[in-house]
């Protein structure tokens, strides 16, 4: 297990529900974090917003001796006592299961029976760069669901769940346990937990400024180009916008 996991509060997670992923990406980029957007990971349930703390699960390529090492009894995919169950049982409200399947977008990381546990643990959702078995059924559980794809096949011939709550990659991004996972219809952004409190006010201000510019330019029928990058005229519009509120 990692020694330090920063736990972002439920209150702060709730606040980030109304902050756009694009804005978070911009604020992180200004601080030198440029590899925080997952590639090959897409929403299987459009319109569902995801903000939660990462509980990580790492898969490895399958091997017979490793299968025996990590499996502790049972039969069939999802029913063996493996680290995948450990990860699911580690979930609490506000947590997201993030599974590293090495970018194998057509390889199952679990199916509807396995991932029903996300519902009963009252967790926030699921993200993987692998596939979801019977993804159309998992979508019906109602939580945000992001994956490389959906498949009817089982995964264990190809991959094995191996370790829980250690640093992983998912969609080419390093995910540390406890990081804030943000998903929308455009994909998934990873916000390092220790930065969540630091950048929040800057994110809110940025979104408000853009809303002020949008309302002003739409009302006046003018181009927004004069207000980007943000400048003194942008600030003037923003202050007027705040005053009206």
Kindly list the domain boundaries of the chain, sorted by start residue. 10-193, 197-244
Helix axis angle for 232-244 and 193-220, nearest 10°, is 90
Q: How far is CA 136 from the centre of its chain?
A: 19
Closest CA to 118 of 93, 136, 83: 93
The DSSP string of the chain is --S------HHHHHHHTTS-HHHHHHHHHHTT----B-SS-EESSTT--EEEEEEEEEEEE--HHHHHHH--S--STTTS--HHHHHHHH--TTEEEEEE-TT-TTSBS--HHHHTHHHHTT--EEEESSEEETHHHHGGG-S-EEESEEESS-STTTEEEEEESS-EEETTEEE-TTPEEEEETTEEEEE-HHHHHHHHHHHHHHHHHHHHHHHHHHHHT--GGGG-S--HHHHHHHHHHHHH-
Instruction: Specify the length of the chain in residues.
Output: 245
The pairing of strands 50-61 and 159-164 is antiparallel
- What whole-number percentage of the chain has pLDDT above 70? 95
pLDDT at 75: 44
The pairing of strands 95-100 and 187-191 is unpaired
Phi, psi of 5 (to 5 degrees): -125, 115
pLDDT at 245: 85
pLDDT at 68: 73
Q: What is d(CA 98, CA 110) in angstroms, rounded to the nearest whole number?
A: 12
Per residue, the 3-state secondary structure of 146-160, as one string, reads: EECEEECCCCCCCEE
Tell me the per-residue pLDDT of 85-122, one tens digit each, with 9 for 90 and over. 999 999 999 999 999 999 999 999 999 999 999 999 99
pLDDT at 72: 59
Q: In which residue ranges of the chain is pLDDT below 50?
A: 73-79
10-193, what's its fold?
Answer: Glucose Oxidase; domain 1 (3.50.30)
């Amino acid at each position: 297990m990692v020694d330090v996991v920063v736990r972002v509060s439920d209150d702060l997670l709730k606040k980030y529900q109304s902050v756009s992923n694009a804005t978070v990406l911009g604020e992180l980029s200004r601080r030198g974090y440029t590899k925080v957007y997952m590639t090959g990971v897409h929403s299987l349930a459009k319109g569902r917003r995801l903000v939660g703390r990462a509980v990580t699960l790492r898969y490895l390529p399958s091997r017979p001796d490793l299968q025996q090492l990590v499996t502790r009894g049972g039969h069939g995919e999802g029913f063996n006592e493996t680290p995948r169950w450990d990860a699911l049982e580690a979930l609490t409200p506000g947590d997201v299961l993030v599974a590293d399947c090495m970018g194998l977008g057509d390889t199952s990381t679990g199916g509807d029976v396995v991932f029903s546990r996300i519902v009963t643990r009252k967790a926030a959702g699921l993200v993987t760069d692998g596939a979801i078995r019977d993804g159309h059924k998992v979508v019906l559980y109602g939580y945000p669901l992001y994956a490389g794809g959906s498949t009817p096949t089982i995964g264990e011939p190809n991959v094995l769940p191996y370790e829980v709550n250690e640093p992983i990659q998912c969609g080419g991004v390093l995910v540390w346990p406890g990081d804030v996972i943000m998903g929308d219809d455009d994909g998934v952004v990873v916000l390092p937990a220790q930065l969540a409190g630091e950048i929040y006010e800057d994110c809110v201000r940025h979104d408000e400024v853009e809303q002020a510019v949008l309302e002003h330019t739409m009302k006046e029928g003018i181009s927004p180009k004069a207000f980007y990058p943000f400048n003194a005229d942008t600030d003037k519009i923003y202050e007027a916008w705040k005053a009206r509120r």
